[in-house]
Amino acid sequence: MTNKMSPMKKTLLYAFLFVGVIVSVFPFYWMFVGATNPSGEIFKVPPNFLPGTHGWENFVNLNENVGILRVIGNSLVITLTFTALSALICTAAGYAFAKFQFKGRNQIFFMLLVAIMIPYHVTLIPLFEIFANVNWLNTFQAVILPQIAYPFAIFLMRQNMQAIPDSLLEAARVDGAGEFHIFFRIVMPVMRPALAAVAIFLFMFQWNNFIWPLVVLQSQDMYTLPVALSSLVGMSRIDYGQVMMGTTLSTLPIMIFFLLLQKQFISGILGGSVKE
């Protein structure tokens, strides 16, 4: 196209976009400033706009206060276990729904689709009762298990699996490959990009998961990051340097991954609704 835009309009366009960028990114900067300054510095008038040198002290205090190292460990163990198990289970199911004809297939799949629309808050109370009955309140498995068969992840994997040519699977069967061999050695490797997106989706869901861990985790040594952060805010005297250090520790790893793997991240978080 040969259109031109007046410099004036162009400047306005860029000004608009840059204001948007500042609004989007500034809160992160403010979080770093808060995390590296003593509590009082963020609340000075006029406030201190520069990162300070108090980060280590904030971290040490935070660790004494809520055992943040242990909390980060809890979050990592829960999230990684959940992501690996859920990705495997959902991929297997998606493969079956996409590549096999079997009795009840459409009915079961329809049930999963309906479940996508149901808010998961409905299940909170019976889930709490289930885990109370088997004495699993305040355990990692109580946080990990309920969402492992994630209907949306199954749906996504099924959509992606449909692109695998049947001839590829048939050829492997003719060569005498077992069904599990085909799944692990042929289907999984071919599906790597889709698997990455789904894994990021599941990881982000569990890393940020709040209401269910809040309900089911009862002691500080079992808390995940969001639950520990919310407990900090609930204290009578809030040390904001510590709180900001906590939010930084929960955000920074994700942010680094995001900057490294932008495309996979965006399509993962959007759940594959955007095709690149």
Partner 1 sequence: MSQSQSNVSGSQVKAKEKRQRKRWITPKTVPYLFILPAVTFFLIFTVYPVISSLLLSFQTREGSGYVFSGLDNYIRLFQDGLFYKALGNTFLILIIQVPIQLFLAVIIAVALNSQFVKMKSFFRVAFFMPAITALVASSIIFMIMLDENYGLVNYLLSLVGIEPVAWLTDPFWAKVALMVAITWRWTGYNMVIFLAGLQNIPGSLYEAAEMDGASKVRQFFYITLPQLKPIFLFTFVLSTIGTLQLFDEPYILTEGGPNNSTLTITLYLYENGFRYFDFGYASAIAYVLVLIIGVLSWAQMKVAGEDK
CB of 31 to partner 1, least distance (A): 5
Q: Which is nearer to partner 1, 64 or 144 (CB)?
A: 144
Q: Which is nearer to partner 1, 17 or 69 (CB)?
A: 17
- Asked if 127 and 121 count as a contact pair (C-beta separation under 8 A), the reply is no
Q: What is the DSSP string of 242-269?
A: HHHHHHHHHHHHHHHHHHHSHHHHHHHH
CB of 14 to partner 1, least distance (A): 8
Q: Which is nearer to partner 1, 5 or 163 (CB)?
A: 5
- Asked if 268 and 201 count as a contact pair (C-beta separation under 8 A), the reply is yes
CB of 165 to partner 1, least distance (A): 16
CB of 96 to partner 1, least distance (A): 4
CB of 60 to partner 1, least distance (A): 20
Specify the residue for token string 């699996």.
161
- Kindly give the interhelix angle for 105-117 and 151-161, rounded to the nearest 10 degrees: 130
Q: Which is nearer to partner 1, 14 or 56 (CB)?
A: 14
CA distance 149 to 155: 11
Taking every pair of C-alpha atoms in the chain, what is the biggest distance, in angstroms? 76
Q: Which is nearer to partner 1, 61 or 250 (CB)?
A: 250
- Asked if 127 and 146 count as a contact pair (C-beta separation under 8 A), the reply is yes
CB of 189 to partner 1, least distance (A): 17
Q: Which is nearer to partner 1, 62 or 96 (CB)?
A: 96
- Kindly give the interhelix angle for 240-260 and 7-35, rounded to the nearest 10 degrees: 130
Q: Which is nearer to partner 1, 69 or 125 (CB)?
A: 125
Per the structure block, which two tokens stand in for 190?
A: 């071919």
CB of 171 to partner 1, least distance (A): 14
CA distance 224 to 74: 6
